Structure 1
Amino acid sequence: MGRRVELLTRAGCTICTGAAARLAELADELGFTLTITDVDTAAADGDPALRAEFGDRLPVVLLDGAEHSYWEVDEPRLRADLRKLPPK
């Protein structure tokens, strides 16, 4: 199974839009699977946990389900962690 990167975001978050674009480029380059989750939509659909935990510091990048960075994509760290950590 390949590496998974998830971006937590919400509508109207301009830095989230930039983070999504950069992660999409990196996904093509580095070969990870990228998913984008709107925490407000998830909460409206019955899963408020993401918004409760991460909603005050979006965007949040999760690597294989664990928090990796927030407010920005920490690209050097992400590249390093993708190289050294085995997939879960």
Structure 2
Amino acid sequence: MPRVTLYTRAGCHLCDDARAVVRAVCDELGEGFEERDVDTDPELAPDLRRRFSDEVPVTFVDGAQHDFWRVSAQRLRAALAQ
């Protein structure tokens, strides 16, 4: 199971930027990540859809919210090192 979850939506330029950072850091550290679309993922609970609607991209590490809007490669590396 991937340690990082990235919540995104189509057409979001911040999501594109976050995806690039998450992918680079996860590749560097040999970690996996999953991406879930807040608008189309049928398994996403309605309360999470509402919560994340204005905050995408949102990253979670090991099930806990890590960042939203912008992803810091340095902070993500540190979180994954724990």
Q: Provide the TM-score with structure 2 as the length reference.
A: 0.85
Question: The residue matched to 2:40 in structure 1 has which SS?
Answer: helix
Q: Which runs of 5+ in 1 are unaligned?
A: none
* 8 Å CA contact 2:38, 2:53 repeated in 1: yes
Seq. identity, %: 46
* 8 Å CA contact 2:21, 2:72 repeated in 1: no
Q: Counterpart of 2:14 in structure 1: which amino acid?
A: I
Greater helix fraction, Structure 1 or Structure 2 = 1
The correspondence for 2:69, drawn from 68, 71, 74, is 71
Q: Counterpart of 1:8 in structure 2: which amino acid?
A: Y
* Moved segments of 4+, more than 3 Å: none
How many residues end up aligned between the 2 structures? 81
> What's the offset of the Cα at 1:41?
0.5
Distance in 1 separating the partners of 2:61 and 2:39:
20
Distance in 2 separating the partners of 1:52 and 1:32:
28
If you compute each CA radius of gyration, which structure gives the higher value, 1 or 2? 1
Matched, 1:59 2:57: yes
The correspondence for 2:48, drawn from 43, 47, 50, is 50
* 8 Å CA contact 1:6, 1:62 repeated in 2: yes
Matched with 2:11 is 12
Question: The residue matched to 1:8 in structure 2 has which SS?
Answer: strand
| Superposition RMSD in Å | 1.7
> What's the offset of the Cα at 1:33?
1.3
Distance in 1 separating the partners of 2:6 and 2:73:
13
